[in-house]
Structure 1
Amino acid sequence: MGQHTMKNKTKLSLKKKVLFSFATCVLFFLSLELLLNVCGVQPTYYDDDPFVGYSSNSPLFVTSSIRDGAEMVTAANKLIYFNEQRFLKDKPKRTYRIFCLGGSTTYGRPYDHQTSFSKWLGEFLQAADPTRDWEVINVGGISYASYRITALMEELNRYTPDLYVVYTGHNEFLELRTYGQQLDAQQPLAGLSNLIGQTRTFALTERLLKSRGEKESGEYGQKQILPEEVAAILDKTVGPETYTRDEQLWQRTLKHFEFNLLRMEHLADKAGADIVFITAASNIRNFSPLKSEHRDDLLADEQAQWEILVHSANVSSSNERYAEALDALDKASDIDDRHAELHYQRGRLLDRLGKFDLARAAYQRAIDEDVCPLRAPSSFQDAVRQVADETDHRVIDFERLVQRWAKDGIPGDDLFLDHLHLTIDGHRRLAAELFQYLEDSGTVSPNASWSELSRQKIARRIEGEIDTAQQGKALRNLAQVLSWAGKHLEAKQLALQAIQLAGEDAHTNFVAGHMLYQSGELDQAAGFLQKAIELEPNHVLARLDLAEIHLQQDEFVQAKSVIEKAIQLDPERQQSYVILEKVLENEPSRNSAPAGL
C-alpha cells in the first residue's frame, strides 16, 4: 500500500516537472519576444521570397528629369511590360494613393491603361469626391505572376501607398520554375513552421545566420534565379506543346502562390497600407482548353474505347442529338476524366440542353484539367479567398460576379475578348465594384451630385477618347497570338472584329485574309488580301497568300502575276519560288500538246 502511494507521488512529481519545464520555456520565449520587440526587431518571415530570386533588379519607377526629381515616372526600359505612369515622389497631404497590381488584365490588354479598370476607378473617385486628390496608378505588368508582383511591392512601399489592389492568378504557370525537395518535406509541419517563422526570435536567428553566410539556400532549398523580366515558356516554343501534366509542380506552384499572397499582405501591412484582393475571372464558355492529355495510367485498349465513344459523341452532336452525345461523353469520362477537351465538349452539350449549372461546372473542370493553364484554376481562386479571409482583408470575388452578370450564368464572349482579357465594359464594371468597396469602407464619401448620370458622363468621355483604329490593331495582334497558340477559330473571330475597327489598315486586312485562307474561306480571304495590297502594294505576305488562293482556284494567270511581283519585291524569300514553280507546273500551256501535231 505504501509502495503504491509512493509510486503515485513519483508519477505526479514527474508531471509537475514536465509542466514546470514547459512553462519556463514558454515564459523565457515570451520574455525574449518582448525584449526583441522593445529593441525594434521585427518578424521577417515574409520579407523575402525563399523560392525565387532575380538576376538583376532595376527599378520600375525612376525620377523624372523634367521636375527636378520630384516626380517618378515609369522607366523607359520597362515600357514593353508596363504603361507609362507618373506620380509625385513625396505624396501630398490631400492625396490618397492606390497602386493597382497584376498581370495583363490590370495593364488593360489588349488595349492599354486608357480603358483599364485603374483608369475607370480614378475617374469615378475624382468625380465623386473632389475633396481629395485620388491617385490610381496602374502597375499591371504583362505576364507578371504573383512572385513578381511581391517584388514590385517592395519597391512601391517607398512611395507611401494607401491601398494596394491585386488582381492575380492567371500567370502562375507562364515561366519555367523549379522547387527544392525541402518544400515537400516542410508540409507536415507547415502550420508550426509558419508560426515560428513569424516570431522575432526567428528573425534574429535568421539575421545571425545570414551574417555568417549560412542562408544562401534559404529555408526551402536553393533559390531559382529568374531573369529580371518575364521569360514565358510560350515565347520560346511553337504553341503550348512544351507543357505536360506535372502534378508535383502544380502543387508546389500553388503553395508558392499562397505564400506570395500572404507576403503581399505582410508588405502592405509593413507600409501601413490596406490591400484588397480580386479573384481573376476568365472566359469559360467560348474558349476551349489550350492542351489536353489523357491520364497517365490509361491503357491502350481503354484509350481505344475512349476514342470510339468520343467519335460517337461527335457524330451524334453533328446531327443535333445532344442527349445521345452527352451520354457517350459521360461514358468516355468514366474511362478517363482527366482530358480537358472532353470536359469542355460536355459543357457545350449541357449548354445546348439548357442545363446551365452543370455546363458551368463542366467548363470549369476543363480549365482545371488544362495542361497549359493560362487561366487561373479553381484551386488558385480558392487560395485568394482563403488568404483574404485568414488575414481579415477584403476580397472582391470577381469570378463569381461575372457569373452573375453573364448570360445563363456562364461567362463568355459577352464579357471577354479572348480567354481572359476583359471587354472595356468589363473593366468599367470591375472599377464600379472597387468604388463600392471604397465607399463601404468609408474611404470615399461621394458628394450629392454623384449619380448614375455622372457615371454615364465619365463613360462617354473615356469611350470618346478611344482611338478605334488602334483598338482594331490591338485586336489584330491578339488574334495573331491566339492563332500561334492553335486557337484558330477564336483568332479568326477576333481578326474579323479588328477589321470593323481598323478596316483601312493593310496588316489588319492581311491577318483577316490569312486566317480566312487557313480556314478554307477562299473568296472572302481573297477580298481582304487584295485590300491589303491596295493599301500597301509592297505587302509581300499578302501577295503570297493571294497567289496560293488563285492557284487553288485554277486562276493561273492571276497567280503568276501576283507571285512575280512578290519575287520582285523580295527576291530572297524562298517560299515565293516554290509557289511560282507550282504555278508554272499547272499552267495550261505547259500541259497541252503543241498545235498541229
Structure 2
Amino acid sequence: MAAPDTGGHLFCSAVEYFLKRPLLNSDNDVMISSTLSKNLLAVCAGILLFLVLEGILALAGVPRLADEDRFVGFAGSTPLFIRTEPDATGANIKLNPAKGDYFNRQSFQMPKPEGTFRVISLGGSTTYGRPYTGETAFPRWLELLGNEYAGAGRFEVINAGGISYASYRVARLQQELIDYDPNLLVVYSGHNEFLEARTFDHLKHENLWLNRTRQLLHQSRLYSLLVSLLEGLSSKESSRTILPDEVSVELEGVVGPDFYHRDEDFRRGVLQQYRQSLQDMIDLAREKQVLLVLCTLPSNLSGVSPFKSEHRAGLTGSELEEFDRLFSQGSQALQQNEPARAMMAYRAALEFDDQFALLHYRLGQALLMSGLYDQAYASFVRAKQEDIIPLRALEEMNGIVRELAELNDVPLADVEATFRRVAPNGIPGADLFDDHVHPNIRGQQLVAWVVFDTLVKAQSFPLQIGAWQRMSSTARQLLLKYENAIPERYRALGLWGVGRLYFWAGKYPEAHVALKQAWAELKDIPEIPYKLGTLEVFRGNGAAALPYLNAARQMEPDDLNTSVMLANAYLLQKQAEKALDVLSGLPAGGDNSVGYLSVLGRARLQLGELKSGLDALKRAYDLNQNVPRSTREYAEGLAIAGQLPAAEKMFGRYLQLIQFPDPSKALQRWVKEKGWLTPREWLSRELGEK
C-alpha cells in the first residue's frame, strides 16, 4: 500500500507545484488556470484512487490476467511434490505418487540445508532422461560435475523433467518449484509443443494495437477482477483451451498420426505461446531473484526421417503422378549408391512440390553422400521444418530462445550449436541421439557439459574459467568412467524405450531394429515380442510373427491385443480356423473392440462366410467411422463380397480420411481395376504401402 500512496502523493504534489507557479496574469488566464487546475486535480485524484484500489486488490491476492496463461487453462492442479515425514537422509519432500508416470522419483529436504547449491532442471522427456531414466539424464551428469568441480558446497540437482511436457506445462510447474528455494533453474523445453490439441482462434485476427492495449490492461488487477466477474455472469465459453491436469497426447489416441495435417494458424499460435511461456518463466525467476539458464534444443537431423509428409495444397493429379515418378527415380538411384542421379531426380520433383518433408530428407541424404555438407544440412533442416508431426523443435523455437536470452540478459546454454559443432560433418545424427530428439547417454553428458560451462562463464559459483579449462580433461575422464559402468540391462531398457517410441510414431523399420536388440537382452517383458510380432504382421510375414506373438501370449495369456494380433498372423498364413480359435478364448468384453471385430470379419470372409464377415467389419467401422483403417477394411470386405458400388463409396471415404491427393481421380483408377485388386492391394502398388 505504501508504494502506491507515495507515488500518488508525489504525482499530486508535482501537479500542485506546477499549477501554483506565477505564469498567468490576466483574469481570463486565471479562469483558464482555475479550470485546468480542477481538471488536473480530478485526474490526479482518479489516478490516486486507482493506485489505492490496485494496492488493496494486491493485498487481497487478486491475480492479474498478465500472470495467467492467455492460451490455455487447466482443469485441476495436482502438486508435483508433497511433504512427508523425514526419511533417514532428512528428506521430507517427495514426488507425489500421482505424478509417478511422468516424473522421476526423487526426494529432497526443506528447508534447504545450509551450504547446498540447489538446481532445478525443468523440461520434457529429454530432461527426464528418456529413453532411459533420470540416472543418465543431463541433470544427473550436471550434479556429478557440480559436486566434483563447482566449489559451491553440496551441489544438488532436482530433475523436474516431465514426459511429454510442453513449455506451458513447464511454466506452470515452475510456479510450484520456485518455492523450494532453488539457486538456479535450467530450462530445456520445446520439443513437445505440438503434442496436445488446443485452439488459437482468438489470436488469429487480432490487431497489433489491440494486442498491445490488451497486454497493458492485463497488468491491472482492477481490470482483471472486472473481466473475471463479467465472464462469470456470461454464458459464453472461454476462448482458452482448458487442458486436463495431466498430459493428453493427440498422437496416443485412436486416430494417431492420421489426424495431423498442415495448419499454419496453429503453428503460429504455438510459437506465440512458446515465446510467452519462456518469458513468463524468465519474469518469475527474476521476481524471485533466482538465476535462470535457457537451453537451445538440438535434434537428430540425418538419422531420422520425417514422421509424416503431406503434399502441398493444389497439387493436381498429373503433377502428383510426375512427382511420384521423379521421387521413385531418386529413391532407386539412392539405393543404388548413385547420389548424383538421385539429386537430379529429387530437385526436379521439388519443382512440383517443395513442401513434401520426405523429399527434402532424401535430398539431404544424397547431398551428404556427395560430400556437400552445408547443402545437406539445409535439406535436413527443411525436412524437419516441413514435418507434419513436429516432434522436433522448430528452428523458430531456437531463435526465440536465443532472442529472449539476449533481451533479458539471461545465460544461454547453446546446446544446439554445440551439437552441430561436434557432430560429423556438422550434421547431428545417430552418433549423438538414440531417436529423434533424445540424446544418447554421451549426448546427455554433452548437454550437462554445455550447461555447466555456461554457469562457469556466468560466474554462478566459485569455479573460475581458467581453472575449469585446466580441469576439463579430468572431467571428461570422470564422465567416461561412469558411462562405462552402466549395466547392459539398463541400456537394453533404453532400446526398448526407443523401439516403443518409433512404433508409436509409425516408424516401423527403426522400431524393429531397436526392439530386436532389446529382445536379445530382455526376455521377461511381453510387450517386446508383441511389438516385434506386430511389425511382422504389418510386413505381411505371418510365419515370422507367430514365434514372437506366442512368446508374448505365454507371458500374458489374457492380453486382448496379443491375441488379436496372433489371430492376424494366422490369417496371413491362410489359417482362419486357428485365428477363430484364438479369438474364442478371449475374456468377456473383448469382442466389442475394433481390433477383435476386424480380425473376426476378415477370418469369416476368408472362410467364405460373407454375411457374418461383413457384419463384423461393419460393426468395427460403426464403432468409429473416422478411423481410416476400419474404413479401408470395410471397403475391402465389400469388394471381396462383390458389393462394388458400396465398396467404391466406402473406399472414397477412406481416401478422404487420409487426405489422399486428388481422391476422385484415385477412386476412378481403382474402380477401373476393382475386378482384381482390393483397395489394400491397389494402394500397395500405388504407394508402396505394407
Normalising by structure 2, we get a TM-score of: 0.70
Greater mean deviation of Cα atoms: 355-364 or 126-135 = 126-135
| Structure 1 residues 24-64: Cα deviation after superposition (integer angstroms, max 9, x where no partner) | 99x989x9799889969799575221121111112111101
User: Structure 1, residues 130-151: CA drift from partner, whole Å, max 9, x if none?
Assistant: 5512121000011111111111
Measure the CA separation in 2 of the matches of 1:534 and 1:370.
Answer: 37
Distance 1:191 1:389, change over 3 A: farther
1:87 pairs with 2:102: no
Letter in 1 for 2:174: M
Note if contact 2:141-2:448 (Cα within 8 Å) is conserved in structure 1: yes
1:489 maps to which of 485, 509, 512? 509
Partner of 2:158: 137
Match of 2:371 among 343, 348, 354: 354
Aligned to 1:151: 172
- Stretch deviating more after TM superposition (381-390 or 495-504): 495-504
Structure 1 alignment gaps of length 5 or more: 1-19, 586-597
What does residue 291 of structure 2 align with? Answer: 274
The CA distance in 2 between the partners of 1:120 and 1:70, in whole Å, is 21
Cα offsets for 1:213-253 (capped at 9, x unmatched): 56999xx9732211101111112134311111111111111
Q: CA deviation at 1:494?
A: 1.1
For residues 162-241 of structure 1, the aligned pairs below 5 Å read: 162-182=183-203, 184-187=205-208, 196=216, 202-207=219-224, 209=226, 212-213=229-230, 222-241=239-258
Matched, 1:299 2:321: no
Distance 1:446 1:500 in 2: 45
- Aligned residues of 2:65 and 2:224 also touching (Cα < 8 A): no
Give the letter aligned to residue 73 of structure 1: K
Change (3 A) 1:215 1:171: farther
Q: Bigger shift: 442-451 or 243-252?
A: 442-451
Q: Tell me the residue number matched to 2:385.
A: 368
1:320 Cα deviation after fit: 3.4
Q: Verify: 1:62 aligned to 2:62, yes or no.
A: no
Distance 1:343 1:28, change over 3 A: farther
Q: CA deviation at 1:276?
A: 1.0
Residues 248-282 of structure 1: CA deviation (Å, up to 9, x unaligned)? 11111111111111111101111111111111211
Q: Sequence identity, in percent?
A: 33
Q: Which residue of 2 aligns with 1:502?
A: 522
C-alpha spacing 1:112/1:339, structure 2 compared with 1 (3 Å) = same
Q: Which has the higher contact order (CA 8 A, sep 6+)?
A: 1
- 1:96 match: secondary structure: strand
Tell me, yes or no, if the aligned pair for 1:312 and 1:328 is still in contact at 8 Å.
yes
Aligned Cα root-mean-square deviation (Å): 4.2
Q: Residue 335 of structure 1 aligns to a residue in which SS?
A: coil
CA distance in 2, matches of 1:534, 1:63: 42
Q: Is the 8 A contact 2:152 2:462 kept in 1?
A: no
The answer to whether the 8 Å contact 1:238/1:485 transfers is no
1:477 Cα offset (Å): 4.1
Report what 1:10 is aligned to: none
Unaligned runs of 5+ in 2: 1-35, 609-690
Give the Cα–Cα distance (whole angstroms) in 2 for the partners of residues 302 and 582 of structure 1. 38
Deviation, structure 1 residue 306: 2.1
- 1:401-458 CA-partner distances (Å, limit 9, x unpaired): 1112222221111111111111011111111111112222222335989563455345
Give the conservation status (yes or no) of the 8 Å contact 1:533–1:539: no
Where 1:166 maps in the other structure, the secondary structure is strand
Change (3 A) 1:303 1:583: closer
> What count of residue pairs does the alignment treat as equivalent?
551
| Paired amino acid for 1:241 | D
Local SS of the residue matching 1:425: helix
Greater mean deviation of Cα atoms: 313-322 or 240-249: 313-322
Summarize the Cα distance change of 1:180–1:568 in structure 2 as closer, same or farther, 3 Å threshold: closer
SS class of match (1:231): coil
**1:563 CA displacement:** 7.6
User: Kindly tell me: are residues 245 and 544 of structure 1, through their superposed partners in 2, closer, same or farther at Cα, counting changes over 3 Å?
Assistant: closer
SS in 2 for 1:111: coil
- Paired residue secondary structure (2:205): helix
* TM-score, scaled relative to structure 1: 0.80
Is the 1:533–1:543 contact (alpha carbons within 8 Å) kept by the matching residues of 2?
A: no
- Cα deviation, 1:146-204, whole Å, max 9, x if unaligned, reads 1111111111121122211111111111011112434531435656765x469xxx435
Give, in whole Å, the separation in 2 of the partners of 1:329 and 1:386. Answer: 35
2:220 alignment partner, SS class: helix
Counterpart-to-counterpart distance in 1, 2:392 and 2:263? 17
Partner of 1:77: 98
**Among candidates 425, 441, 447, match of residue 458 of structure 2:** 441
For 1:468, which of 480, 484, 488 is the aligned residue?
A: 488
123-132 or 203-212, larger mean C-alpha shift: 203-212
Q: Which amino acid aligns with 1:402?
A: F
Which amino acid is the alignment partner of residue 159 of structure 1? Y
Q: d(CA) in 2 for partners of 1:162 and 1:76?
A: 26
Letter in 2 for 1:431: A
User: CA 1:111–1:319 in structure 2 vs 1: closer, same or farther (change >3 Å)?
Assistant: closer
What residue number does 2:618 align with? Answer: none
